């Protein structure tokens, strides 16, 4: 059985979806970017199921948390999951490029593929795809909008 909840943060509404196997979606409901998200009629609203995750996210936004302790269960290809695991290694407040991630997963020519995997990341914040920037140092696309990507990077710089 899949559960979901929605709650407000200082930057946007967040929708969480998951089950006993872990968190499968974290949607930043910014109204920007290309990511669209719909709550399935099959999912059950259960705010209590996500209490710990909500507390960790609120601590992150208040500057009291730099890492998450949340079991994740994203759905994706083997390549996407490899990229997402590598993203999870980027330290709070640090940035890297798509090329850096490509090299780290053993294929330095895969920067574009890494970018595509980033855009499909179903659990931003916890799998911190916002910490990846273009080779030129610019904030390139973010599925939830570049404005929130910039705010998240600034939040982490403290």
Active site residues: 129
State whether residue 53 is helix, strand or coil: helix
Cβ atoms 4, 15 nearer than 8 A? yes
Torsion of CA 59, 115, 80, 35, to 10 degrees: 60
Cβ atoms 80, 117 nearer than 8 A? yes
Distance (Å, whole) CA 151 – CA 66: 15
Query: Tokens 């499909």, residue?
Result: 120
Considering only CA atoms, which of 123, 127, 77, 132 is closest in space to residue 102? 132
């Amino acid at each position: 059985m899949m559960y979901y909840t929605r709650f407000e943060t200082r930057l946007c509404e967040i929708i969480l979806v998951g089950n006993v196997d872990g968190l499968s979606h974290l949607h930043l409901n910014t109204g920007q970017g290309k990511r669209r998200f719909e709550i399935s009629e099959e999912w059950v609203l259960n705010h209590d199921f996500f209490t710990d995750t909500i507390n960790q996210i609120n601590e992150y936004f208040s500057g009291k948390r730099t890492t998450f302790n949340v079991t994740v269960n994203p759905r994706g290809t083997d390549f996407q999951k490899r990229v997402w695991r590598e993203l999870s290694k980027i330290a709070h407040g640090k940035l890297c490029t798509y090329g850096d991630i490509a090299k780290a997963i053993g294929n330095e020519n895969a920067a574009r593929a890494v970018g595509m995997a980033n855009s499909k990341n179903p659990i931003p914040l916890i799998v911190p795809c916002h910490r990846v920037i273009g080779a030129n140092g610019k904030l390139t696309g973010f599925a939830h909008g570049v404005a929130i990507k910039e705010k998240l990077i600034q939040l982490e710089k403290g």
